[in-house]
Amino acid sequence: MIYRAIGLMSGSSLDGLDIAFAEFQHQGGRWSYEILETDCYSYPEEWTRKLQQAIHLSAREYLLLHSDYGHYVGQQVNRFIDAYQLHYKVAVIASHGHTTFHLPGQKMTAQLGDGAAIAAMTQLPVVSDLRAMDVAFGGQGAPIVPMGEKLLLPGYDYFLNIGGIANVSGAPETASGGWGFDVCPANRVLNLLANEIGKDYDEGGQLAASGTIHDGLLNALSELEYYKKEHPKSLANDFGTDIVYPLIKNYGLAINDALRTYVEHIAIQVSDSIAGLRKNNIGISNQQLLCTGGGALNTFLAERISWYLQQQQIEVVVPDSKLVNYKEALIMAFLGVLRWRQEYTVLSSVTGATRDSIGGALWTGQEA
């Protein structure tokens, strides 16, 4: 059976809306995929500001933004379909939405982008709210990509995605049912620091590479309470913006030194996360880690992570640029297909929910 789907991803780094159109084939109990078309539509300044300020709105204004952003996303999907001539080729659209509130301890998570609005704009079936069912079952709602990693990317033992937040997961074949959790804020904090000197981001990690590690800040970051928690666990965006970033600023460092220190912090936290799991006999030695997300293109950051993981005999693999940039959008598309097929999309062993679940609300935009 062949399915063609569009996946949408908007990360906390606010670099834009990632869109991937992929073909998935299910044959003999195995899945394969091909990424056919991709694009990233940068947010206009107005939308960047709206998404940044969303958590401060009244309930009424927030819900209006939820609808407005859904219509905006639908417009961007139509733009993508027109640009790549995909009319009558898309079976389903799966939208992650843009995370605003994430409070799994209170069984609540919220992503902007009304699925009904996207369906109305595109007149196609749309799957949204992919995390909500898992959170309702007591899970962290994150990460949700391990099901896609398990079925689409066999052969790797560990997966690291470096977006606004870095998260790590392990293949179910090397652990009892699989595991995964958010490690630490990543690009969201690095970009905030780069923004201070008029740059969107630290290209290739050049600024960080020219800096010096500040041991006091590095130690203070490592002592944050989140890093002492056992998994499953997950992070809201405000951990990076409201806790980590102000802590860095309190030290009054030059930007290149702040970037250098925070790059080292990310690398250490990734390494420590995997090392801690290995002590509990999760995972085995001499394995490969697939590194994706925008942070994988930060050459200096990737080198520091690789240096630490080499001590554990783990090889860091950075794949082709399409998979680096669009892995999460690809997996959103795949989760949409699984939801369409009424199959599990989220692993409870990863999120801590009471059971595996079929996540996502389905909106039917086409005529009967």
Task: Looking at the structure, tell me whether residues 111 and 193 fall in a common domain.
Answer: no
- Please report which helix (H) or strand (E) contains residue 19, including its range: strand 17-27
End-to-end alpha carbon distance in the chain: 23
CATH of the domain at 293: 3.30.420.40
- If we measure between CA atoms, which residue out of 10, 128, 124, 19 comes closest to residue 80? 19
Residue 309 maps to a domain? yes
259 is written with which tokens?
Answer: 């970037």
319 is written with which tokens?
Answer: 């794949």
Q: What is the pLDDT of residue 285?
A: 53
Mean pLDDT score of the chain, rounded to an integer?
94
Residue 114 maps to a domain? yes
Q: What is the pLDDT of residues 117-126, one digit of tens each?
A: 999 999 999 9
- What is the residue whose two structure tokens read 């977006």? 163
CA distances 198 to 3, 209, 307, Å, are: 43, 18, 30
Task: Looking at the structure, tell me whether residues 41 and 172 fall in a common domain.
Answer: no
Beta bridge partners of 103: 108
CA dist 57 and 232 (Å) reads 30
97 is written with which tokens?
Answer: 């939405």
- If we measure between CA atoms, which residue out of 363, 368, 325 comes closest to residue 74? 363
| Domain interval for residue 132 | 2-140+332-363
Q: What is the pLDDT of residue 175?
A: 44
- Residues 183, 271: contact at Cβ < 8 Å? no
Q: What is the pLDDT of residues 294-353, one digit of tens each?
A: 999 999 999 999 999 999 999 999 999 999 999 999 999 999 999 999 999 999 989 999
Looking at 123-254, list the stretches that DSSP marks H as alpha helix, in order from N- to C-terminal side: 132-136, 146-152, 187-195, 206-209, 215-222, 238, 245-249
Q: Is the confidence at residue 109, as pLDDT, over 50?
A: yes
Task: Looking at the structure, tell me whether residues 200 and 338 fall in a common domain.
Answer: no
pLDDT band at 277 (very low <50, low <70, confident <90, very high): confident
Task: Tell me the backbone φ, ψ of residue 354, rounded to 5 degrees.
Answer: -75, -15
Residue percentage of the chain with pLDDT more than 90: 86
- Residues 326, 20: contact at Cβ < 8 Å? yes
Residue percentage of the chain with pLDDT more than 70: 95
Q: What is the pLDDT of residue 287?
A: 86
Residue 324 maps to a domain? no
pLDDT band at 176 (very low <50, low <70, confident <90, very high): very low
Q: What is the pLDDT of residues 133-175, one digit of tens each?
A: 999 999 999 899 999 999 999 889 899 999 999 999 886 554 4
Q: CA 46: distance to chain centroid?
A: 23
Residue 267 maps to a domain? yes
Q: CA 71: distance to chain centroid?
A: 22
How many helices (H) does the chain have, and how many strands (E)?
14, 12
Task: Looking at the structure, tell me whether residues 162 and 30 fall in a common domain.
Answer: no
Q: What is the pLDDT of residues 12-64, one digit of tens each?
A: 778 899 999 999 999 999 999 999 999 999 999 999 999 999 999 999 999 99
Task: Looking at the structure, tell me whether residues 163 and 136 fall in a common domain.
Answer: no
Collapsing DSSP states into helix, strand and coil, what is residue 135?
helix
Task: Looking at the structure, tell me whether residues 94 and 178 fall in a common domain.
Answer: no
Give the count of domains, the chain: 2
pTM score over 0.75:
yes
Strand pairing category for 158-162 and 287-292: parallel
Count of residues in the chain: 368
Q: What is the pLDDT of residue 281?
A: 52
Residue 11 has what DSSP assignment? -
Q: What is the pLDDT of residue 174?
A: 46
Residues near 170 by beta carbon (within 8 Å), at least 6 away in sequence? 157, 158, 159, 178, 179, 180, 277, 282, 283
Task: Looking at the structure, tell me whether residues 110 and 257 fall in a common domain.
Answer: no
Q: Is the confidence at residue 205, as pLDDT, over 80?
A: yes
What mean pLDDT do residues 76-89 have?
Answer: 98
Q: What is the pLDDT of residue 280?
A: 57
How many Cβ atoms from other residues are within 10 Å of residue 241's Cβ?
18
Q: What is the pLDDT of residues 214-231, one digit of tens each?
A: 999 999 999 999 999 998
